[in-house]
Amino acid sequence: MNKNIGIQDLGTKDFKETWDYQEGLFKEILDTKIKNRREDAGLETKNHFLFVEHPHVYTLGKSGDLSNLLLSEAQLTEKGATFHKINRGGDITYHGPGQIVGYPILDLENFFTDIHKYLRLLEEMIILTLKEYGIKSERSPGETGVWLDVGTPFARKICAMGVRASRWVTMHGFALNVNADLGYFDNIIPCGIRGKAVTSLNVELGMKRVDETEVKEKLLKHFAVLFEAELKRELV
């Protein structure tokens, strides 16, 4: 089993371009697995973890409801945002500047074969990272992602998640609001959940800006421990 994970930071990159890149890495792993099964080739599958920041974009998961997007095409253009219907789980979400997006593209057969466990470990990575900033976050029963003040009128989401998996290979991932413009969430019903707010790390800390590079390092530290993985930086 190959527990090495290549880490790439793509910087700011268009959502569709990143999606295509993810699909390429995803297909490469699947092709290797198929070759191994057909020919008993014994080839190692690779694992990847992409960091990226997207320009303003709304994405709708395969089971999502388009009515949760509250903007017309003209209004999207006016706000400098794009929209994509995509092949992950979950409903609608927003990505944009000030948000750390992470896409682990893993062959889970290198780690464990349990999608539920995979999602819980991603949530745990976020929870442990936020704890380092003095913020108590948690899971909300029946709602994937990471929340603050669950079970109170002040419940708010700080990290959204949506993944796709095929033959135990994952893609898509999480979006952690660090310095996000929360006004863009007003244009959707986030994740299809009415009546719950969205927040960002800088808002919770009362800071103008949080060091995103520092947050990424903390995320990777916890990810490596939780997945018992060896992380290797790769040039983009």
Tell me if 187 sits within 8 A of 195, measured CB to CB: no
Helix (H) or strand (E) holding 48: strand 48-53
With the CA atoms of 114, 120, 124 and 126 taken in that order, what torsion angle do they form, in degrees rounded to the nearest 10?
Answer: 110
The single-letter code of the amino acid at 100 is: I
Catalytic residue among 191, 210, 215, 219: 191
Helices (H) and strands (E) in the chain, counts: 5, 12
Q: Which of 150, 130, 149 shows the shortest CA–CA distance to 140?
A: 150
Integer Cα distance of 162 and 115 in angstroms: 12
Within 8 A by CB and 6+ apart from 16, the residues are 82, 84
Compute the residue count for the chain: 236
Assign 160 to helix, strand or coil.
strand
Integer Cα distance of 175 and 20 in angstroms: 18
CA atoms within 13 A on the CB side of 202: 15
Catalytic site includes residue 191: yes
Integer Cα distance of 29 and 160 in angstroms: 25
Instruction: Show which residues are catalytic.
Output: 191
